[in-house]
Amino acid sequence: MSEPTKVAVVYYSSTGTVYELAKSIVEGAEKAGAEVRLLKVAELAPAEAIAANAGWASHAAETQDVPVATAEDIVWADAVIFGSPTRFGNVTSQLKQFLDTLGGLWAQGLLADKVYSGFTATGTTHGGQESTLLAMYNSFYHFGGIIVPPGYTDPVKFVDGNPYGTSHVSGQGALPVDDAARNAGEFQGRRVVKVASALKSGLAGAVS
């Protein structure tokens, strides 16, 4: 029996919206038979800033046992799904800092030929979801990765309406992650596993 496809879901979330999306993606990937690691990137904000925001502090406490992503996790994975809320139409500094630490792996060719995908959340409608995902994907081009967006490849995508990746509008925290976003996340997890598994099998056949 072939080993399962390995997926790392690596995210940053301050108050929990992106974390909720990450859990749905993990669920979909696991249902598709993958071995999954749910990982957060390191927090860069000072403790006093986190403590000053009740939602931020609460979420930090809630997820204190979620492992922090390392370069080894990326090497281990056949597919990596990154998540970040938007910051001025771009990824957060926390996620970008982690991506920037992968230069050594990139130089060794260890980031190439993996599947990559992304997800995001904004506080407002049209708050930068597409630009955040496109900015995230720029790194994957440099990695030599295979980018697998959800596209409009399942009816759930016509409900959430974002072919670039799973996303949610939080209404500045007033709108919790809904079924449309959860279903889209689960589908994205399944789709990434489907493509990554086919790629893994094909690459294995090419070298056997």
pLDDT (tens digit per residue) in 9-66: 999 999 999 999 999 999 999 999 999 999 999 999 999 999 999 999 999 999 999 9
* pLDDT value, residue 40: 98
Contact 15, 171 (CB under 8 A): no
Q: Where do we find the tokens 């190439």?
A: 112
Query: What letter would DSSP give residue 208?
Result: -
Contact 59, 12 (CB under 8 A): no
Q: Tell me, which fold does domain 6-207 have in CATH?
A: Rossmann fold (3.40.50)
Domain ranges of the chain: 6-207
**Residues with Cβ < 8 Å from 205, sequence gap 6 or more?**
none
Residue 117, beta-bridge partner list: 81
Query: What letter would DSSP give residue 62?
Result: H
Q: Indicate whether this model's pTM tops 0.85.
A: yes
pLDDT confidence bin for 208, thresholds 50/70/90: low
Cα separation, 21 vs 11, in Å, equals 10
**Structure-block tokens of residue 21:** 């999306």
C-alpha angle 158/160/163, rounded to 5°?
70
* 3 state SS of 159: helix
Cα separation, 100 vs 26, in Å, equals 24
